[in-house]
Amino acid sequence: MTVAVVNMGIEEQARAHQDNLTKPRGALGRLEDVACWFAARQGKKLPDRLNPHIAVFAGDHGVCEEGVSAFPSVVTGEMVKNFARGGAAINVLARQCGASLSVVDVGVISDLSGVDGVQQRKVRSGTANLLSGAAMTRDECAAAVAVGREEAKAAIAAGANLLIAGDMGIGNTTASACIICRLAGAAPEAVVGFGTGVDDAGRSLKVDVVARALQRIAEQANDLVLQEVGGLEIAAMAGFYLQAAESGVPVVIDGFIASAAALAARQIEPLACDWMLASHISHENGHALALRALGLSALIDFEMRLGEGSGAALVVPLLQSAIALHKEMATFESAGISGEVEA
Amino acid sequence: MTVAVVNMGIEEQARAHQDNLTKPRGALGRLEDVACWFAARQGKKLPDRLNPHIAVFAGDHGVCEEGVSAFPSVVTGEMVKNFARGGAAINVLARQCGASLSVVDVGVISDLSGVDGVQQRKVRSGTANLLSGAAMTRDECAAAVAVGREEAKAAIAAGANLLIAGDMGIGNTTASACIICRLAGAAPEAVVGFGTGVDDAGRSLKVDVVARALQRIAEQANDLVLQEVGGLEIAAMAGFYLQAAESGVPVVIDGFIASAAALAARQIEPLACDWMLASHISHENGHALALRALGLSALIDFEMRLGEGSGAALVVPLLQSAIALHKEMATFESAGISGEVEA
């Protein structure tokens, strides 16, 4: 694949434009950086308003049989139905930020074939237990990645210029912790968190499961991490990010699961990170560490740990404001305002 | 004055409601706190969508003759004209968050009497130099506070249920630093920043000016701090906050100047802080310290240092999202989702 090239010349032009706006230089802080980041990626000194699309990928996890989650696997399918009816957090946040939303079953155990509003792209009904063997085969993993790629392509074709991937999958903090530990080079104790709400004993169990899974794949290449200990929805998210980078469309990375998928995408194509913007620092342990490994810096810390793309959707209005300020503010010249004097 | 009472019973009901929404408990982090904060203050378990009003108060500062700012005082009036034409950052952000905006001349040196869209409430043409004597008289300070109160009353009467005060005043980081040092008990070195962009020598000069002003008022009561070393726009902002608390309408505190005004309001009425929500941590030195003194915790850190109410306006969509999630998400029961199991 070929990742689209970021236009650094346009970024410089955007910076120069920022310095002419009616404010002290740099006074808008990270909003200035965000506006210039989009300018460089849209290839326009004055970037277009964002037209976001959110794709939520859902899949189940065989590792749940180890008791790693506070909720049973059946909740994955129930939550997908909740997405389809518009009652979940991501539905509300999509409405708030004017994003279109698609819900993709890439591997839920429950049969969702009759559910309106859910794309039927099931690769298999849940992964195998990553503790005892590969979570999926090479072909299944590739098929899930392809689902994510196709979803990104379709959204871009429909006019989206900002992409967000969300996740739903009971057990997926365990799979994500395995990926983050391995691809960011970190210990389970530093990465494993409380997920949907296990207690201290539940977390200790998760740490042990992750440690043993990592031991199982210790001799395998990094390229196999996604299929060995990943998830179908995580693979789809990685594909989504890869396609976005190839098509030259920015993505906003959500929390813990999304960052695991981003690391998996980076493993396939290191330059994919050029098109990623981090939204928030999840309250889930190890997320900050994953972002550092990706070279990304989160915009906000709201102590969220929901997934679904919620943190990424939440920050979209901040991104819109950054672009609107960049485009709509008067310049010192146009406003007839006296320039800076020597202090 | 009598500050409106926050309804903690409703806050508990709102918390219980949050725990029934289709997400793990606490997974929306600070968004849950924000929704419950508004519930308690609106007295409604499901609070209304926010209808924000932003009032920008402008005034000049006699202390500018000490060379404390990178910009000349004439820029205050020029920026007010920019606000009136819609070209400043706060205009863009007001449009982004659907806020109404008023611009109030409470003490600009320039004559703005012919400028459409600017409220003519000039108490005096700039303060006196706070280094050599009182910035304003007791009556002038009271008059400026009254302007802010009236502005809040008018906005509430027009239907606003969220108030933001913004500032414009070349030299006002110096006045604000004096207030913060004195009312938060901090040293000038820890509080004085670079304002609109002075260099290191300029900042050293500011530190010295603030230290000498504090020395001048060392024997005076805290109640006199606002008139001695404050500003007309800062006094108006304090009045705005006081009226909001008395009327039981929440305010979002912006950055460094706004926090100085909030400290001044707290000096007049300690319970006023019950109605304050902090928006961002300004990049200006000492702001974090001022927020701690107010007992407030900022939502975001975007390294902004603009004023005008910009940081407060920026976070409004996050507050709207918090409330929308609280009101629109399905409950476990309504969505037919399996409850939490023992981990």
Q: In the 3-class helix/strand/coil scheme, how is chain A assigned residue by residue? A: CCCCCCCHHHHHHHHHHHHHECCCCCCCCHHHHHHHHHHHHHCCCCCCCCCEEEEEEEECCHHHHHCCCCCCCHHHHHHHHHHHHCCCHHHHHHHHHCCEEEEEEEECCCCCCCCCCEEECCCCCCCCCCCCCCCCCHHHHHHHHHHHHHHHHHHHHCCCCEEEEEEECCCHHHHHHHHHHHHHCCCHHHHCCCCCCCCHHHHHHHHHHHHHHHHHCCCCCHHHHHHHHCCHHHHHHHHHHHHHHHHCCCEEECCHHHHHHHHHHHHHCHHHHHHEEECECCCCCCHHHHHHHHCCCCCECCCCCCCCCHHHHHHHHHHHHHHHHHHHCCEHHHHCCCCCCCC
Chain B residue at shortest CA distance from A329:
B87
CB contact under 8 Å between B306 and A75, yes or no, is no
The encoded tokens of residue A135 equal: 């979570």
| Active-site residue (options: A308, A328, A333, A340) | A308
User: Scanning the structure block, which residue is given the tokens 């972002």?
Assistant: A291
Our CA angle for A145, A147, A150, nearest 5°, is 110
What pLDDT sits at residue B343?
Answer: 32
Site from B21, B22, B109 to mutate, A interface, most A CB atoms within 10 angstroms: B22
| pLDDT score, position B1 | 75
Which one of B196, B321, B335 has the shortest CB-CB distance to A314? B321
CA–CA min distance A205, chain B (Å): 10
Looking at the complex, report in whole angstroms how far the Cα of residue A219 sits from the nearest Cα belonging to chain B: 32
Residues of B in contact with A23 (CB under 8 A): 88-89, 306
B/e letters for A33-58, b = 16+ CB within 10 Å, e = fewer, are bbbbbbbbbbeebbbeebebbbbbbb
- B308 part of the active site: yes
CA distance A145 to B201: 57
Measured between CA atoms, the residue of chain A closest to residue B284 is A27
Residue A1 pLDDT class (50, 70, 90 cuts)? confident
In whole angstroms, give the CA distance from residue A165 to residue A254: 7
What kind and span of H or E run contains B162? strand B162-168
Residues B156-211: pLDDT tens digits?
999 999 999 999 999 999 999 999 999 999 999 999 999 888 999 999 999 999 99
Contacts across the A-B interface (CB distance below 8 Å): 215
B328 vs A contacts (CB less than 8 Å): 87, 91-92, 95
Closest listed residue to residue B172, CA positions, set B122, B230, B129: B230
- What is residue A340's predicted lDDT score, i.e. its pLDDT? 53
Contact B238, B294 (CB under 8 A): no
Q: H/E element holding B71?
A: none
Cβ atoms of B238 and B145 within 8 Å: the answer is yes
- pLDDT per residue as tens, chain B (343 positions): 799 999 999 999 999 999 999 999 999 999 999 999 999 999 999 999 999 999 999 999 999 999 999 999 999 999 999 999 999 999 999 999 999 999 999 999 999 999 999 999 999 999 999 999 999 999 999 999 999 999 999 999 999 999 999 999 999 999 999 999 999 999 999 999 998 889 999 999 999 999 999 999 999 999 999 999 999 999 999 999 999 999 999 999 999 999 999 999 999 999 999 999 999 999 998 999 999 999 999 999 999 999 999 999 999 999 999 999 999 999 999 998 876 543 3
**Nearest one of A182, A168, A191 to A288, comparing CA atoms:** A191
A118: β partners: A103
- B167 burial (CB, 10 Å; 0-12 / 13-18 / 19+) is buried
The Cα-based distances of B35 to B10, B31, B163, B320, B322 in angstroms read 11, 6, 16, 9, 5
Average pLDDT in the A38-43 region?
98
By C-alpha distance, the chain B residue nearest A199 is B343
Neighbouring residues of B51: CB distance < 8 A, sequence distance ≥ 6: B159, B160, B161, B162
Closest-CA residue in chain A for B205?
A343
The order of strands in the sheet holding B100-107 is: B118-120, B100-107, B52-59, B162-168, B251-253, B276-278
**Closest residue in chain B to residue A34, using alpha carbons only:** B302
Q: What angle do CA B123, B126, B132 make, to 5 degrees?
A: 120
Selecting from A306, A317, A318 the residue whose C-beta is nearest the C-beta of B23 gives: A306
Tokens at A107, concatenated: 């591997």
- B298, B278 contact by CB (below 8 A): yes
Q: Is the pLDDT of residue A343 over 70?
A: no
Quick check: A220 pLDDT over 50?
Answer: yes
Q: What is the pLDDT of residue A342?
A: 38
Q: What is the CA radius of gyration of chain B?
A: 20
Binary contact (A93, B325; C-beta < 8 A): yes
- Which residues, at least 6 apart from B300, have a Cβ–Cβ distance to it below 8 Å? A299, A300, A318, B279, B280, B281, B311, B314, B315, B318
Residue A33 in contact with residue A143, Cβ under 8 Å?
Answer: no
From the list B11, B150, B308, B340, the catalytic residue is B308
Mean pLDDT of A25-30: 97
Nearest to A101 by CA among A109, A92, A110, A113: A92
| Residue B44: partners with Cβ closer than 8 Å, 6 or more residues away | B10
Evaluate if residue A341 carries a pLDDT over 60.
no
Contact residues on chain A for B338, CB-CB shorter than 8 A: 71-72, 74-75, 78
Whole-angstrom distance, CA of residue B326 vs CA of residue B40: 13
Q: How confident is the model at residue A338 (pLDDT cuts 50, 70, 90)?
A: confident
What tokens were used for B334? 């309504």
Q: Please check whether residue B90 is in contact with residue B308, taking contact to mean a CB–CB distance below 8 angstroms.
A: yes
CB-nearest to B341 from A26, A71, A92 is A71
Q: What is the DSSP letter of B272?
A: G
DSSP-derived pairing of the beta strands B162-168 and B118-120 = unpaired
Instruction: Count how many residues are written for chain B.
Output: 343
Exposed e or buried b per residue across A193-232, where buried means at least 16 C-beta atoms within 10 angstroms of its C-beta: bbbbbbeeebbebbbebbbebbebbeeeeeebbbbbbbbb
DSSP assignment of B3-51:
PPPP-HHHHHHHHHHHHHBSS-TTTTTHHHHHHHHHHHHHT-SSPPPP-
Mean pLDDT of A327-335: 95
Q: Which of B208, B301, B306 to mutate to test the interface with A (most CBs of A within 10 A)?
A: B306
Of B25, B30, B87, the CB nearest to A330: B87
Per CB-CB distance under 8 Å, the chain B contacts of A199 are 343
CA distance B318 to B92: 17
Please tell me which of the candidates A25, A85, A338 has its beta carbon nearest to residue B75: A338
User: Are B78 and A302 a contacting pair at CB < 8 A?
Assistant: no
Contacts of B197 in chain A (CB under 8 A): 24-27, 340, 343
Average pLDDT value for residue range A12-32? 97
Q: Which member of A197, A306, A336 has the closest CB to residue B28? A: A306
Contact (CB<8Å) A283/B29? yes
